[in-house]
Structure 1
Amino acid sequence: MSTYAGWTYKCFVISFLLLMIVKVQAQDQAAVPKISVGFVMGFPTGKTAKTYVNGYGASTKVELNFTKHLNLTGSAGYMTFRYRDEVKKRLDYLGEPTSMNGVVPIKVGAKYYFEGIYYAALEIGAANTLGDGLNTSFAYGPTLGASIPISKHYSADLGLRYEGWKSSAGQVSFFGLRLALAISGAKK
């Protein structure tokens, strides 16, 4: 495992543990309309991990209140993955391009808030690869996370998800970690 891969794995584990132990007393994060903007890190799994070391990007998510504990969601983002060194060397040797094409995932779904700060979400949609060979994949992503209150209208959103992009060309799968700032206009 490269030093960079080891560092990203440690960040992933620490963030996951923080997500599991965060506790906020007497504050219930009920489902309310909000918008969030955040940073995303991707940690490839399965066959994807043989090609890519990690990924990074940004995303925006809009949540519309449906019931007391349920929000409907819509999200759009940008992700790119970094080739493993040996894959990049092989592509260079073959004269293939080694610049990374970005991917724009656009998804809709639902986010259920449990009592307290924790939530579970599921989104589906399309992941569109940018560049010369435009490719659209079916995207899906179940998420577990926490909405940590900062003030009356702001919260930090920390989510851990498994995401897959499936097309006729194959599948990309990864664990994603999203850290975002959410802004709510609703009174709590």
Structure 2
Amino acid sequence: MKAQNTANIGIGAEIGLPSGNFVNLSGIGLGTSIKADFPIAADFAISLNGGFMNFFGKRNQLFKVQDFTYIPAKAGLKYHLSESFYAEGQLGAALPLTNGQKTLFVWSPGIGNQFKLAGENKLDLGIRYEAWTGKNNTIGLNRSDTKGFVGIRFAYVFGL
């Protein structure tokens, strides 16, 4: 198996499809991200990911849910199952940009495929499940709350 042996950086667009109870608060999330991979062994790389994500709050006749706007920052391990197909797991934090929201713990397993382009450049298509977990103080209740979603990422990857 021949995996990447050089570092790379990718710039991409993100789509978030809420799942579970998060569907009641948001219909879709849109964002952007920058992700860097640094090889540490033949098929393993350390990945660093930062970006911007906005989940649009739902509205109806009775109430309007505030948008959830965050800067997710994650680090993890990527394993190349073949030359182009990979699996990865990341941990990190989602930092709020909206008043009244709190920093959340992030965990995210996913898979993806990188399609070769000219030179060392690639097109990266990834799908993951991502969960943002933290304390929620809604109406005097102090309980743990998770916002889960399926994330889809389309990125252009530059070989370094």
DSSP 3-state at the match of 1:104: strand
Partner of 2:155: 180
Partner of 1:146: 113
How far does the alpha carbon of each residue in 1:120-156 deviate from its partner, in whole angstroms, 9 at most, with x for none?
Answer: 0100000111122241110011010001111222000
Query: Which structure 1 segments of 5+ residues have no match?
Result: 1-26, 93-97
In 2, distance between residues paired with 1:62 and 1:69?
15
Bigger proportion of residues as strand: 2
Partner of 2:130: 163
Under a length normalisation based on structure 2, what TM-score does the superposition of the two structures give? 0.88
DSSP 3-state at the match of 1:91: coil
In 1, distance between residues paired with 2:122 and 2:71?
25
In 1, distance between residues paired with 2:5 and 2:112?
13
**Counterparts in 2 of 1:174 and 1:101: CA distance versus 1, 3 Å:** closer
Query: Which structure 2 segments of 5+ residues have no match?
Result: 137-144
How many residues are aligned here?
Answer: 152
- Contact 2:108 / 2:131 at 8 angstroms: preserved in 1? yes
Partner of 1:23: none
DSSP 3-state at the match of 1:135: coil
How far does the alpha carbon of each residue in 1:154-178 deviate from its partner, in whole angstroms, 9 at most, with x for none?
Answer: 0001000000000011111000000
Pick the aligned partner of 1:136 from 103, 116, 132: 103
The residue correspondences of 1:38-57 to structure 2 (distance < 5 A) are: 38-57=12-31
**Counterparts in 2 of 1:165 and 1:151: CA distance versus 1, 3 Å:** same
Pick the aligned partner of 2:41 from 67, 75, 83: 67
**What is the CA distance between 1:68 and its match in structure 2?**
1.1
In 2, distance between residues paired with 1:28 and 1:55?
35
DSSP 3-state at the match of 2:53: strand
The aligned amino acid for 2:14 is V
Pick the aligned partner of 2:63 from 91, 104, 129: 91
Matched, 1:80 2:54: yes
How much is the aligned-residue C-alpha RMSD, in angstroms?
A: 1.7
Bigger proportion of residues as helix: 1
Under a length normalisation based on structure 1, what TM-score does the superposition of the two structures give? 0.76
* Structure 1 runs of 4+ with >4 Å offset: none
